[in-house]
Amino acid sequence: MKKKILTAFLSFVFITGLLLAGCSSNSTGENTTSNENDTENANEEQVTINLGYYSGGKSDEKMQELINRFMEQHPNIKVTTQSSPYGQFFQKLDTQIAADEAPDVWLSDGVLVMKYAERGAIKDLTEWINRDLNKEDYYGLESNQDTDGKYWGVPQGIQIGALYYNKDLFDKAGVEYPSEDWTWEDLKEAAAKLTIDASDKKPSEEGFNSENIKQFGLTFFSITEGWFSVLKSYGGGILDESLNNSIINSEENKQAFEWMVDGMSKGIITDPADLNSFQSPMAVFPSGSAAMRIGIYARVLAANEAGLNYDVTVLPKGPDGERFSPVITNSWVINESTSDKKAEAAWEWVKYWSTEDEVQKEWAELGEAVPVKKSVAQSDTFLNSTDKPENKQAFLESFDFAGGLDTNAVWSEWVAKFNEHARRAFLEEQPIEEALENADKDVQKILTDFYNE
Amino acid sequence: MNKRKFFTAKKIGYIILTISALIMVMPFVTALFNSLKTYAEFTAVPPKWIPEVFQWSNYPEVFKLGNFLDYTFNSFIVTGLSVLGAVISCSMVGYAFARLTFPFKNALFVMVLGTMMIPPIVVIIPHFMIFQQMNLLDTLVPLWLLECLAQPFGIFLMRQTFLSIPKDYEESSKLDGCNPFQTYWRIYLPMVKPSLATVAIFTFMTKWNEILAPSIYLTSNEKFTLPIGILSLGGQWFGNEQYMVAAALMSLVPILIVFLFAERYFVQNFSSSGIK
């Protein structure tokens, strides 16, 4: 009797396996790229492309809607999709690229485009961009350009840094709102007046405890929304123009670090240890625990959701009047190993996304990114939407002094290494000179290991 | 006097137990309250423990944001088949290593143990390619099939258990006319139920919470398992954390139910042993 049960179970397992496998081969046909039977149906001309993107809660629905509309307009192109949560998407993508199973066209985080480009995973789009896009019409196209001038992706949405400030906290402290003429020193001065410790004392008062802060003047976090724009506006930086050499160990960087470390030791700016007591480093500003932050455009989502009374302005100037605003352009990239026919269909999708005003407008309404098309970014849809912040113009003004994050094939690696050393300086575990020297050595090693092989 | 002392000791015992119970329960209570907050309350510093207005709507909102019924169903299929597969395959292989004689038995066993040292991330690309060849990507099969092929930890555990049972059983069953399979199935297997339960619990927990494999193999939303479904509530820029907490709490309910029912069964089995 028991033997029968076992036999029955085993057969069940195998039959279910076979059944699921059977069902799946139908659905994989729809969902993956390698299926060669795309043209098996009546319509000989039809091309099926697989599109990969990372899903983001509410934006999923809009993406599907835009894809459906694209298919209506292009009856010969069928789009199948695959999506994953943000973090998992890129983990999977690496596996898929290794197995030659990656989507025909995918949405890449702006900072990762060069990683794929320099490893030969995505197509050079220079020719098509020159042919079909009027470069003057777009923001951020150049951020996907390598040092040889080749384009590797087309922007899907733009993130650009600005200075966020909490109006209520400024009003309460009687401090004037940040102006466009501020230098980083001005910012620190104002930030000092906006810093409050646990016993409600300000830095200027006696008995102020910089170790136990209730409200910070400025919150500060990692590269994009932290040290990068400060270094740049002080005239420093991380990599030279070739993006193959470190320029970390410089006098300018030292000055910038002195500004940051001084602010952190006084409790005005959040140091890496302070950030640990929050839900996430991104939550400090929305929770009203900091009067200012360096933030990319997408941070309006959390600030609005938290119901903050805030606005934005351009980032402050360095001591010599230089300014810098970091840009990340999430971009559409096309798989290098996909067939020509599919690549062309994928290009149609990219073109549809960037040239159609309607698409740009509807995506802009989600409030996740600055539209790539200038005409839409400068229209009422973006600038005068009812949502805060009021001064959205500041994001557009920032394009005048915007720049990339020195993204190259080993970006994630060198950023992690630099953060490690910067952290030691920020927490005053190591003198600034020493931290910069070590960071320089380690970052250079990462670059040499990759580029000289 | 002695009696009084005893009661004081008991009281202190209860107080300690109550305090530790409260400590254990705290994270759950915090999560429950967090799931009922608005985003502003969720990020507030200092944290507000109890939300001003309970946002019960967070729970239906989760269902609007993702196909949670699908995710739960998928998770059940994956975990259910994995547990059944693991229990049967591990006990069979473990029995073979413990009781049967065949060439290179010990060398093979060492090899099995050796595979425990390989981190899962290393084999993910070869696995991915194998399942790609089998046309099984974006299905649930890769998630449970491997468990049906006996995993090393389970094999090891079952082998040790079978070894601890006296050989006399095997001999007497042989005398009574059992073949090796019958000896395994009728005599030995009922005696190792506690170990089977351990394998089952381990497999259940790993599979229910697994993130890496589903995120690699699954591409369409309707095939997602619960952990991936929960993660996909957050975007690149904005977390929707209060919804994620609500979803995570809901994903606990099935586990709780399984444990409530299974616990009684597991405890029963520990007391029913065949040794006289």
Tell me whether A302 touches chain B (CB under 8 Å). yes
pLDDT computed for residue B193 by the predictor:
86
Closest residue in chain A to residue B211, using alpha carbons only: A88
pLDDT computed for residue A377 by the predictor:
93
Q: What letter does residue A269 receive in the DSSP assignment?
A: B
The pLDDT tens digits of the residues spanning A140-152 come to 999 999 989 999 9
- A79 CA to chain B: closest CA distance, Å? 13
User: Which of A283, A296, A279, A290 shows the shortest CA–CA distance to A367?
Assistant: A296
Cβ pairs bridging A and B (under 8 Å): 158
- From the candidates A60, A305, A366, which should be mutated to test the interface with B, based on the most B CB atoms within 10 A? A305
Q: Which of A85, A159, A368 shows the shortest C-beta gap to B234?
A: A85
The pTM score is 0.83
The pLDDT tens digits of the residues spanning A407-452 come to 999 999 999 999 999 999 999 999 999 999 999 999 999 999 999 8
The reply to whether residue A28 touches residue B135, judged by beta carbons under 8 angstroms, is yes
Place of tokens 């619960």: B226
**Residue range A253-264: average pLDDT?**
96
The Cβ of residue A20 has, within 10 Å, a number of other Cβ atoms equal to 18
The pLDDT tens digits of the residues spanning A290-347 come to 999 999 999 998 899 889 999 999 999 999 999 999 999 999 999 999 999 999 999 9
pLDDT computed for residue B201 by the predictor:
85
Residue B190 burial by Cβ neighbours in a 10 Å radius (0-12, 13-18, 19+):
middle
pLDDT computed for residue B270 by the predictor:
52
pLDDT computed for residue B61 by the predictor:
86
pLDDT computed for residue B276 by the predictor:
41
pLDDT higher than threshold 90 for residue A384: no
C-alpha pair distances (Å), B72 with each of B35, B36, B60, B69, B208: 19, 21, 15, 5, 10
**Residue range A162-174: average pLDDT?**
96
Q: Which of B136, B211, B239 shows the shortest C-beta gap to A24?
A: B136
Please list every residue in chain A whose beta carbon sits closer than 8 Å to the beta carbon of residue B218. Answer: 84
pLDDT computed for residue B122 by the predictor:
87
pLDDT computed for residue B182 by the predictor:
92
- B207 CA to chain A: closest CA distance, Å? 17
The pLDDT tens digits of the residues spanning A230-253 come to 999 999 999 999 999 999 999 999
pLDDT computed for residue A4 by the predictor:
54
Out of A39-53, A61-75, A234-248, which region has the weakest mean confidence (pLDDT)? A39-53
Print burial letters for A386-400: b (CB count within 10 Å at least 16), e (below 16).
eebbebbbbbbbbbe
Share of chain A above pLDDT 90, in %: 74
**Residue range A186-192: average pLDDT?**
96
pLDDT computed for residue A300 by the predictor:
92
| Packing angle of the helix pair B68-99, B58-65 (nearest 10 deg) | 80
Tell me whether A412 touches chain B (CB under 8 Å). no
Please list every residue in chain A whose beta carbon sits closer than 8 Å to the beta carbon of residue B128. Answer: 95-96, 98-99, 101
Bridge partners, A165 (sequence order): A292, A311
**Residue range A252-262: average pLDDT?**
96
Split at pLDDT 50, 70, 90, the class of A29 is: very low
Residue A232 burial by Cβ neighbours in a 10 Å radius (0-12, 13-18, 19+):
buried
The reply to whether residue B132 touches residue A298, judged by beta carbons under 8 angstroms, is no
Q: Which of A24, A54, A296 shows the shortest C-beta gap to B141?
A: A24
C-alpha pair distances (Å), B106 with each of A17, B45, B110, B150, B164: 32, 59, 6, 17, 17
Q: Return contacts of A21-25, CB within 8 angstroms, 24+ apart.
A: A21/B134, A21/B135, A21/B136, A21/B139, A21/B141, A23/B139, A24/B135, A24/B136, A24/B138, A24/B139, A24/B141, A25/B135
Q: In sequence order, what DSSP letters do the residues of B8-67 get, joined into one string? A: HHHHHHHHHHHHHHHHHHHHHHHHHHHTTS-HHHHH-SSPPSS-SS--TTHHHHHHHHS-
Is the ipTM above a cut-off of 0.95?
Answer: no
pLDDT computed for residue A17 by the predictor:
47
Split at pLDDT 50, 70, 90, the class of A385 is: confident
- From the candidates B135, B233, B237, which should be mutated to test the interface with A, based on the most A CB atoms within 10 A? B237
The reply to whether residue A99 touches residue B140, judged by beta carbons under 8 angstroms, is no
Locate A335 and state its tokens: 């798989």
Residue ranges for chain B with pLDDT beneath 50:
271-276
- From the candidates A11, A31, A90, A278, which should be mutated to test the interface with B, based on the most B CB atoms within 10 A? A31
Q: Which of A54, A60, A277 shows the shortest C-beta gap to B236?
A: A54
